[in-house]
Amino acid sequence: MELLLVVAILGILSTMGARLMIQVNRYFQLTVARTDLQKEARAAMYLISRNLRQAQAATIIIDRAVGQPFYSRITFLKIQGGSVRYYQNGNQLVQTVDGRNQILTKNLRYLAFSFPRSDDLSIVSVSMTLEKATYQGKKKALQMASERVRVMN
């Protein structure tokens, strides 16, 4: 009788333990994905903001690459010279400086540039959403709120 009771208790604990381990694993994967996305988004937003501040306001062009979302590409000339372009290519955020491409993230879901005020073209709004696979084929999305960047030149 005691052996049956021990087996029953161990069976219940192992069933609960497996579920607990699955939940802990999901939480860990979700936390790692969220942290990675925040790092990538902050780094990308920093580069975009820094370069946009050095842009010549009259040279800013917002459009899209073929087959990409509207307003997902920005091109401009820096005051020191040289051209800069940021654009969405599928799930990649690409930076092109003087013809050299660099992928900033491979987890891009959405990117948009806009002029929030039509009477002031020296302010550019940047919005992006990053998304990363976590567990069981599900995705975790991180929405970066729009950041307004004032072009200094």
Neighbouring-strand partners of residue 128:
111, 144
pLDDT for res 117 = 86
Give which of 98, 90, 91, 93 is closest to 126, Cα–Cα.
93
Give the pLDDT band of residue 141 (cuts 50, 70, 90). Answer: low
Q: How confident is the model at residue 81 (pLDDT cuts 50, 70, 90)?
A: confident
**pLDDT for 35-80, tens place per residue?**
888 899 999 999 999 999 999 989 999 999 999 999 999 999 999 8
pLDDT of residue 3: 78
Indicate whether 91 pLDDT > 90. Answer: yes
Query: Mean pLDDT, to the nearest integer, of 70-96?
Result: 94
Burial grade of 20 (CB within 10 A; 0-12, 13-18, 19 or more): exposed
| pLDDT in the model for residue 87 | 96
pLDDT of residue 143: 66
Considering the entire predicted model, what is its pTM?
0.81
Whether the per-residue pLDDT at 88 is higher than 90: the answer is yes
